Structure 1
Amino acid sequence: MTPQDDAAPQELVVMVGLQGSGKSSWVAAHLAGTHVVVSKDHWPNARHREARQQRVVAALLAEGASVVVDNTSPSPAERAPLIATAAAAGVPVRAVFLDVPLETCRARNEAREGRDRVPLVGLYSAAGQLTPPSTAEGFGEVQVVRG
């Protein structure tokens, strides 16, 4: 069920970045073959998406899968439950922070169509909350990708 390579150690990766920063593209290029991708965007109409995501991540980690959570995750408060889930499973957790200027994200977002385009208020709200991840939060590693 998991695409993880048996030789690679299990981990949880938490993506951090604004809408339009390139998180999903980065995941597709670097982790899609080795990690199960989980995103609240997979359940756009579900109630309690946060709780559902936590249950799915916990179950996948319990099965031995490596998981990547592909959300904006702009604040330490939003990342804390994922870090706690990884710690409870005894799995290392790292953050990948796409450090992309707001104007670049806005331009990319405006090029999107339909439901893929985020309302500007959502983009600016996330930008106002965006705090770069740090090892002080509990991440074993923080990888910064500039764009």
Structure 2
Amino acid sequence: MVGLQGAGKTTWVAEHLAGTHVVVSKDHWPNARHREARQRRVVAGLLAEGASVVVDNTDPSPAERAALVELAVAAGVPARAVFLDVPLETCRRRNEARSGRARVPDVGLFSTAARLVPPSTAEGFADVRVVRG
């Protein structure tokens, strides 16, 4: 999954992939140290077991997605990207409606937007699906 906070990634995953894929998200471990490394270990382990995995994070840049693509390649499975292409203002409004830890400070949302590069097959993805919202 690729998209800004508030783009609807978690909802899209719940509606389209949760029944067939194991969902991995760094949000599942809000207080964990080294969440990135933990995510890589969990994804690698699930792929080694033959599970279909969906990673539900923002993953806005090719550099931030590279490790996940490498894990899929190492496991011999295609990496696929789903990009939720949702305007920043829509994401900001949705984020404002959130409460507690679910609400991301505006600076975090704007920082992610500044790094956002749509995924492409040039990164190693077998295919890229764009969902506009």
- Displacement of 1:104 in angstroms is 0.1
- Displacement of 1:82 in angstroms is 0.2
Q: How many residues align?
A: 133
Structure 1 residue 86 corresponds to structure 2 residue 56: no
What letter matches 1:59 in structure 2?
G
Structure 1 residue 19 corresponds to structure 2 residue 5: yes
User: In the aligned structure 1, how far is the partner of 2:17 from the partner of 2:71?
Assistant: 20
User: In the aligned structure 2, how far is the partner of 1:51 from the partner of 1:114?
Assistant: 25
- Displacement of 1:137 in angstroms is 0.2
Structure 1 residue 127 corresponds to structure 2 residue 113: yes
Is the partner of 2:72 in helix, strand or coil? helix
User: In the aligned structure 2, how far is the partner of 1:18 from the partner of 1:70?
Assistant: 11
- TM-score normalised per structure 1: 0.90
What letter matches 1:110 in structure 2?
E
User: In the aligned structure 2, how far is the partner of 1:128 from the partner of 1:146?
Assistant: 19
User: In the aligned structure 1, how far is the partner of 2:41 from the partner of 2:94?
Assistant: 31
What letter matches 2:30 in structure 1?
P
User: In the aligned structure 1, how far is the partner of 2:47 from the partner of 2:85?
Assistant: 27
User: In the aligned structure 1, how far is the partner of 2:12 from the partner of 2:130?
Assistant: 12
Structure 1 residue 61 corresponds to structure 2 residue 47: yes
Percent of residue pairs identical: 81
Structure 1 residue 47 corresponds to structure 2 residue 33: yes
Structure 1 residue 106 corresponds to structure 2 residue 56: no
Is the partner of 1:16 in helix, strand or coil? coil
What letter matches 1:34 in structure 2?
T
What letter matches 1:76 in structure 2?
P
Q: Which runs of 4+ in 1 moved over 3 A?
A: none
Please list every run of 5 or more consecutive structure 1 residues that lacks an aligned counterpart in the other structure: 1-14
What letter matches 1:137 in structure 2?
E
Please list every run of 5 or more consecutive structure 2 residues that lacks an aligned counterpart in the other structure: none
